[in-house]
Structure 1
């Protein structure tokens, strides 16, 4: 969205869209057993299945990555793009 406002020319012929879907539980089962899966289920429920999070072994690093997503996508793009002024209400909505 931010690029949309700053670009003055179309990306015709120079755009390649890639869709990276969350990691499915079946993909995890190829690399871990049932016990490992049950130990990590709470973390996966809290963090989601972002592929990027696999590289972070520490909980704090994962937390920082998720906060970065919130700050860059929600606050910068969505709130600015839609001119929403009450960011605390968006945070409350996220917590719900």
Structure 2
């Protein structure tokens, strides 16, 4: 006589590895940021020069007054100029991104 529990046992034995494997494949990945020597200038010393809106994203772009004066005069921005982008998603501050001009 066949056991009624055999198909259930086989299903559990075969399904358990698939269930455990899918947990490890679908869980959120953990990421780590490397430390670096990047520093931001004091944001209150920068001037807002434009805002870009795309869907739920709003970006404020900032730089120093000397860079804005150089751009208006048709000159290259000075070495050491910081440009900072302040990123909002659905009006919630998401991140700061920065770039510094290192050479001509």
Shared topology, TM-score over 0.5? no
* Higher normalized helix content (fraction of residues): 1
Structure richer in strand, relative to its length: 2
Structure with max Cα Rg = 2
| Larger RCO: 1 or 2 (CA < 8 Å, sep 6+) | 1
